[in-house]
Amino acid sequence: MLNQHHQKVSWKKEGLAGLIGYFTTVYIVAVNSQILHSAGLPLESGMIATILASALGCLIMAIYANAPMVLIPGMGVNALFAYSIVEGSGMTFQEGLAVVFVASLIFLVTAFTKLGDWLKHAIPASLKHAITVGLGLFLTLIGLEKGGLVVRGEHSLITLGNPSSAIVITSILTLFIGIFLFTRNVPGNFLVTMIAGTMIAHFTGVLGERGDSLALSEQSWVFMPDFTSVTGFGFWMAVFPLAIVLIFENMGLIHGQLDMLDQQSKFKKSYQASAFSALSTGFLGTSPTVSSAESAAVIASGGKSGRAALTMAVLFIGTIFLIPWISMVPSTAIAPILIIVGALMVQNIKEIPLDQLSEAMPAFLIIVMIPFTYSIADGMAFGFIAYPIVKFAIGKQRELTTPVVLIAMVFLIEFIMRSLGH
């Protein structure tokens, strides 16, 4: 009887933690679908893909790893997919999904072999943190563009948007609300920001139209990745950065979250669950899922097991019925979230030893070249190529590992082939 009561209480507590986790992450349905839309996917299809990927990810985490983590399409990873892989490489959406599948397969291999550990120790921490910072700046740039705060200039690459336009005013008001809610640590702050931003957009006249009730029969629920370009060098140059980002982002996030839980014994299974989840996204029509930073909110709210993740999976499935309302959310309500997430990712710069130039210089190149080239893969290439060159130049070649040199060579070959191709 006592045990039954204990179970009841823990289910209640885990369910509540799952509910909080859902409210802190459901913003991803609107945000991710808008980013996928940039890669050519219809908005509603993007919402269904995001919902199904998040629900399945949480379900896998609940059943396989019994951990209270939320798996949703990763911020930064979605930008890499939409802007670098599909738009930047000129691939079709389906070819992009083939890249997602292959990169996730590599991620899965690292989760079940010693390759993950080997890579973890072989890639310099400064470069890993620099990728996160560069992604943060890239997301910020996309957010500023979506909100109309920056536009393409006549005499410069980028210039300030028209401060008197309704779109810019709406974006700025929403951004201030978002920053206020986030710094005050209000639960579900991104969701509240999005709702507030949508209401402001209604009053300023920049609101989108409400979608029709969902015509489920017309929606494509399963996508077939297109592997026709798998033999091309360009395909593998798209797979490569995505695999690296997936491996290190999940390693870092899961490790940090399990530290909070004091359950490092669950690392292997949680990491494997993340890999299985990422693999499924290639067929669901979205960029890969990652163990979200918002899992910290679930753990802080008392989530200790897979029950919290199971609750989130069920709630995500229920979100399908809200799609007509979610489709009303304008880009002015999404932009501030991208900017705030960008600011959070940039905090990793404090982990880079800026006083050691041989570490700081390649890291700096990654950080600036990701947003300035509008390509995550190209930004990473600059840093990885510079790293061995700088180490050789100052006689510290002993600090180089085989994977770093190999990655640098692959990126260099890609640049040479690209220049010969033009």
How confident is the model over 387-422, as pLDDT tens digits?
A: 999 999 999 989 899 889 999 998 999 889 888 875
86 in Cβ contact with 274 (< 8 Å): no
State phi, psi for 365 to the nearest 5 degrees.
-60, -40
* pLDDT surpasses 60 at 382: yes
Distance CA 390, CA 78 (A): 31
Look at 236 and 300; give whichever has higher pLDDT. 236
Tell me which DSSP letter residue 386 carries: H
Residue with tokens 């979608």: 211
Structure confidence at residue 301 (pLDDT): 84
Measured distance CA(258)–CA(266) in Å, rounded = 7
pLDDT bin (cut points 50, 70, 90) of residue 360 is very high
Return the pLDDT at 294: 86
pLDDT for 419 equals: 84
The yes-or-no verdict on residue 308 having pLDDT over 50 is yes
The confidence score (pLDDT) of residue 218 equals 46
d(CA 367, CA 380): 8
pLDDT at 7 exceeding the cut of 80: no
Cα-based torsion angle of the residue sequence 328, 331, 335, 337 in order, rounded to the nearest 10 degrees: 20
Region 319-345: mean pLDDT is: 91
Alpha carbons 50 and 289: distance in angstroms, whole number? 9
In the chain the first and final C-alpha atoms are separated, in Å, by 75
Helices marked H in 292-397 — which ranges?
295-300, 306-318, 323-326, 331-346, 357-373, 376-393
pLDDT per position as a tens digit, 128-176: 999 999 999 999 999 999 999 999 888 888 899 999 999 999 999 999 9
Element (H, E) at 159: strand 158-160
Q: At what angle do helices 2-25 and 189-204 cross, to 10 degrees?
A: 40
pLDDT, tens digit (0-9, with 9 covering 90-100), for 21-80: 999 999 999 999 999 999 989 888 999 999 999 999 999 999 999 999 999 999 989 999
Mean pLDDT of 275-283: 96
From residue 408, how far is each of 384, 394, 413, 416 by CA, in Å?
Answer: 5, 18, 9, 12
Between CA 67 and CA 263 the distance in angstroms is 9
What does the buried/exposed string (b/e) look like for 367-386 if buried means 16 or more CB atoms within 10 Å of the residue's CB?
bbbbbbbbbbbbbbbbbbbb
Determine the number of helices (DSSP H) and then strands (DSSP E) in the chain: 18, 4
pTM of the model: 0.88
- pLDDT tens digits, one per residue of 66-92: 999 999 999 989 999 999 999 888 899
CA distance 7 to 395: 61
Q: What is the pLDDT of residue 213?
A: 47
The structure tokens 């219809």 sit at 42
pLDDT of residue 256: 85
Region 323-347 average pLDDT: 91
Share the mean pLDDT of the chain: 90
Contact 290, 246 (CB under 8 A): yes
Contact 354, 360 (CB under 8 A): yes
Neighbours of 117 (CB within 10 A): 11
Task: Provide, rounded to the nearest whole percent, the portion of the chain with pLDDT above 70.
Answer: 94
What residues form DSSP beta bridges with 185?
none
Q: Token pair of 100, please?
A: 């997602």
CA dihedral over 58, 60, 66, 69, signed as positive or negative: negative
Position 2 pLDDT exceeds 60: no
How far is Cα 190 from Cα 28, in angstroms, rounded to an integer?
A: 9
**Cα 162 from Cα 266, distance rounded (Å):** 51
Work out whether strand 71-73 and strand 289-291 pair parallel, antiparallel, or are unpaired: antiparallel
Confidence at residue 422, expressed as pLDDT on a 0 to 100 scale: 55
Identify the pLDDT of residue 150. Answer: 93
List the beta bridge partners of residue 72: 290
For residue 200, the 8-state DSSP code is: H
Token pair, residue 173, equals 């008001």
**Which amino acid, 294?**
E
Question: What's the Cα-to-Cα distance from 213 to each of 33, 110, 222, 373, rounded to whole Å?
Answer: 17, 42, 20, 40
d(CA 218, CA 158): 40
Task: Say what the pLDDT of residue 418 is.
Answer: 83
pLDDT above 80 (res 215) = no
Give tens-digit pLDDT for 216-261.
Answer: 444 555 688 999 999 988 899 999 899 999 998 998 889 888 888 8
Exposure string (b/e) for 350-362, b if CB count within 10 Å is 16 or more?
eebeeeeebbbbb
